[in-house]
A and B are shown apart, each in its own frame.
Chain A
Amino acid sequence: MEKLLEIKNLHAQIDGKEILKGIDLTVNYGEIHAIMGPNGSGKSTLSNVLAGREGYEVTEGEVIYKGRNLLELEPEERAREGIFMAFQYPVEIPGVNNSYFLKAALNAKLKHEGKPEIDAMDFLTLVRDRMKIVEMDDKFMNRGVNEGFSGGEKKRNEILQMAVLEPTLAILDETDSGLDIDALRIVAEGVNKLRSPERSVIMVTHYQRLLDYIVPDFVHVLSAGQIIKSGDKSLALELEEKGYGWLLGEDEAA
């Protein structure tokens, strides 16, 4: 299988504090990887480093994406190359219209791919179609980005953006946190609809329940900035049953 993403010995820090302490992970095209771990294990740091957020300093190691050094790319270049991170806490941006923001994002990607910009009618048709996937109402499009959205609406808006931008690598950063069971189902269905041999997903989550809806090919357990165990979906079930303490030292288990 062809490699989409290869993370080698990745070390990263925030404010001088080392969070990632040597991550190795390979994601092939079409695969879904779940990254699980207790709070503070570095899950969100990994997501943010991949998306290119400022303030996360990579001190060692490399990340190869589509055969290129990912870490050299600006966040927008990563996005145009097909990386999409669904935020754990999607920000509210009052006054920036949801619809024109999304259109700008799509056009940036199309332009990067050497394709013509989408016209207003086609865009509307596309967005309406994708909104059905996440069961979002039209009225959300003319509001500010996430402005006044409930927690579940924000997450659905992330998945809508993903469905419109059709990324090659989707990173879901604790997308299940704060979701009730209905919203979780909608979000998961949105992700499942996007499953394809050309697309890979990294799901970062604390809980197993998301994996009931989006079944991963691989499960990795992250602890103290390192992947301490990898396996298939049964690993997640085992974790659910035994808790993280099962894999961690006694102190942490307590």
Chain B
Amino acid sequence: MSTVEHYRRVFSDAEMVGKDIDWLKAEREQALADFEEKGFPTARNEDWKYTRVNPIEKKAWGWSGKTCVGLDPEDLNDYVFERKNSHVLVFVNGWFQPQLSTRHTLPEGVKLVSLAAQIADSADELRPHLGKVAENRNGFMALNTAFSSDGAYLHVAQDVALDKPVQLVFIATHQSDPVFTNTRNLVVLERGAQAQVVETYGYIGGEPENFTNAITEAVVAGGARLYHNIAQRESEKAYHVSTVAATVAKDGHFEQSAIAMGGRLMRTDINVALNEPGAHATLNGLYLPHKRQHMDYHTFIDHAAPHCTSEEVYRGVLDGAGRGVFNGKVLVREGAVQTNADQSNKNLLLSKQAEIDTKPQLEIFNDDVKCSHGATIGQLDPLHVFYLRSRGLDEAQARSMLTYAFANEVVNRIKLEPLRDRMSMAILDRMPGGEELKKLV
């Protein structure tokens, strides 16, 4: 059976939510047609030059049905912090699990529900935004749009600040047949609204070979502030392809920290459009591939209006035969005067087999802008290692301490303190002698 036939059959059999809603049905069918036309990206596509998706393409991914999961909220403690002081929505194999979630009383004007619930309740409320922020740019996105049925929907009304952070936790468990989940999240902040969102991708039990194909769309209206975080901690046998697309209006603020530790193969695209004057984006990122992991971040900041600012700090720590890709595109459109855009990408190679392809990409179409970018690739400084060893630390400990310091430059940029601490600990867990270091920091 061809790939097209396979997904068409999965599509007709799948128990998607909202099958009877005409506009949604039409969008899904259009997306499936888009997928059939585009197919999975190949290396001929410049944007996918360094990331081969054949391992994903080769497998016949099936629909992940709503299965009964025998999990308790405590099983998620690795991935959830401060349940008492945050709203937690847990999804297992793509579906919302109310029994594992915690939703405190929400301020007036805040809606936080599963996408499936919102579709069932009032799909029309989603229509102005769903699929409008993120277009189906590639086969993966088209597949997501065709199949997505669940995820999180957060809507914050004008001038409302959601004080507690929202944790969206996506858990994969082992399944006998290969399944893909097409998580779709939508965050809408009306004018002057504020929210903090954390997306965590993880797994429980064994090391599932799942395929996460996710999209998050975020609308940041005038003067609104969205702090968005991604902790990608999937199984090291998992495939993770995701896109975050955000639009930011006048004087709006979008700030994101993305940290990748998991997955056999990861590709995440982050597309932020600064559409009106005064809009700002901060993108922080850290990728830590080791063993045979492959991690690819493609970021795109679109300066479409004058007086917008962006700041981007991405770092990579590459060990074993780990491979990283960073492509940071900054587009300054005609008329976007007084743009201020900084980008930095630093990479630390810890082994001979590790590899990084980094490409800062600035495209500027007018004068009167201030743009900078820099990419470095280096190793640990032998003098630093010697200094620490000369004080009694063994070589592995010295290297881990220096590596941790390098990675922490990004972790420290996470605004949400409990998440910051979690990420520090999770990074140390992956390092030789990390247990010892944990006692110190």
Contact = CB atoms under 8 A, between A and B. Distances in A.
Given A93-B405, A95-B406, A103-B440, A51 B390 contact: yes
Q: By CB atoms of chain A within 10 A, which of B392, B397, B401 has the most? A: B392
B439 to A, nearest CB: 8
B429 interface: no
Contacts of B389: 52, 74-76, 79
Contacts of A54: 382, 386
A101 B402 contact: no
Given A51-B390, A74-B389, A97 B441 contact: yes
A96 B389 CA distance: 14
A161 B387 contact: no
A223 B390 CA distance: 27
A108 B393 contact: yes
B436 interface: yes
Nearest to B388: A101
A100 B441 contact: yes
The size class of the interface chain A forms with chain B is 20 to 34
B409 interface: yes
Interface string A88-103: 0011011111001111
B317 to A, nearest CB: 13
Contact of B390 (A79, A104, A144, A145): A79
A47 to B, nearest CB: 11
A84 B382 CA distance: 18
Contacts of B382: 54
Contact of A105 (B384, B392, B408): B392
B405 A161 contact: no
A52 B408 contact: no
Given A100-B441, A144-B405, A85 B390 contact: yes
Contacts of A161: 391
A53 interface: yes
Interface in B409-441: 409, 436-437, 440-441
A21 interface: no
A219 to B, nearest CB: 26
A91 B405 contact: no
A101 B388 CA distance: 8
B392 A96 contact: no
B47 interface: no
Q: By CB atoms of chain A within 10 A, which of B391, B437, B441 has the most? A: B391
Given A94-B405, A104-B440, A112 B384 contact: no
A168 B392 CA distance: 14
B440 A91 contact: no
Contact of B409 (A87, A95, A97): A95
Contacts of B406: 95
Interface string B362-406: 000000000000000000011110111111111101100110111
Contact of A165 (B381, B391, B408): B391
A76 B409 contact: no
B405 A75 contact: no
A90 B389 CA distance: 13
A248 B252 CA distance: 73
A96 B388 CA distance: 10
A79 B389 CA distance: 8
B408 A95 contact: yes
20 contacts: A51-B390, A52-B390, A53-B390, A54-B386, A76-B398, A79-B390, A85-B390, A90-B387, A91-B387, A95-B405, A96-B388, A101-B388, A101-B401, A104-B436, A104-B437, A105-B388, A105-B393, A108-B392, A108-B393, A145-B387
Given A95-B404, A101-B391, 11 more contacts: A51-B390, A76-B398, A84-B391, A93-B402, A101-B393, A104-B401, A104-B436, A106-B392, A108-B393, A145-B387, A165-B391
Interface of A: 51-54, 74-76, 78-80, 84-85, 87, 90-91, 93-97, 100-106, 108-109, 112, 144-145, 161, 165
